[in-house]
Structure 1
């Protein structure tokens, strides 16, 4: 009985550092995000244009709403120097459910695609 307790106690610490080592990069990545949030975008627009933050927020929101509306309508949205957002149809296909290996039918649908502008792609 003592041997099983010692074995369990010796194995438990080995698992904990591995779990905390995996969690550490996630925390560091979350703190140092490469993502530009909407509020940061609003601040950049305000700095470049001289508009107030409220006016910049309205302009950014209006632009994003216009893009979303166009994409929902099935239109392509070209943004010079950035790229093009478009809607693409996906075909129906057979998939496999993870864990059970059961074959399932995935219906046809739509997805949003982004094609990077060649000028931006060349400068990356």
Structure 2
């Protein structure tokens, strides 16, 4: 026969409890406006339904992306201008190995802030 042993319950100490973790900031105080939040803001501002706002925002983004892919600049009054810029071929260094590599020419999307917005920041 084996003898069963029971552990005594742990004693509670009068040590200070760790402070409760700070609650996460609500989405409204976030520094990024997500697409769903943008749709909701458009719906609130225009009086459109959420579905109509979703279609309008989606259509606008599709037009902007199509224009940029086509090499066109897109001016957004009061916000700025999105444009495509050519990048030159250049020599770079591979991190970790310090090996010199050739980076090919390419394209990148550039954004120039409107002077009215820049002045109001």
**Same fold per TM (> 0.5)?**
yes
- What is the rounded CA distance, in whole Å, between the counterparts of 1:53 and 1:101 in structure 2? 52
- What is the rounded CA distance, in whole Å, between the counterparts of 2:31 and 2:67 in structure 1? 27
User: Any stretches of 5+ residues in structure 1 without a counterpart?
Assistant: 1-27
Q: How does 1:72-111 map to 2 (within 5 A)?
A: 72-111=69-108
- Tell me whether 1:118 sits opposite 2:99 in the alignment: no
**Number of residue pairs matched?**
96
TM-score for both structures, normalised by structure 1: 0.74
- What is the rounded CA distance, in whole Å, between the counterparts of 1:117 and 1:85 in structure 2? 11
Q: Which residue pairs with 1:39 in the alignment? A: 36
- What is the rounded CA distance, in whole Å, between the counterparts of 2:30 and 2:118 in structure 1? 22
- What is the rounded CA distance, in whole Å, between the counterparts of 1:59 and 1:42 in structure 2? 9
- Tell me whether 1:71 sits opposite 2:64 in the alignment: no
TM-score for both structures, normalised by structure 2: 0.76
2:95 is paired with a residue whose SS is coil
- What is the rounded CA distance, in whole Å, between the counterparts of 2:45 and 2:94 in structure 1? 49
- What is the rounded CA distance, in whole Å, between the counterparts of 1:33 and 1:103 in structure 2? 41
Aligned-residue offset at 1:33? 3.3
Q: Which residue pairs with 1:56 in the alignment? A: 53
- What is the rounded CA distance, in whole Å, between the counterparts of 1:38 and 1:96 in structure 2? 37
> Which structure has the highest helix share of the two?
1
Larger radius of gyration between Structure 1 and Structure 2: 2
Q: Which residue pairs with 1:8 in the alignment? A: none
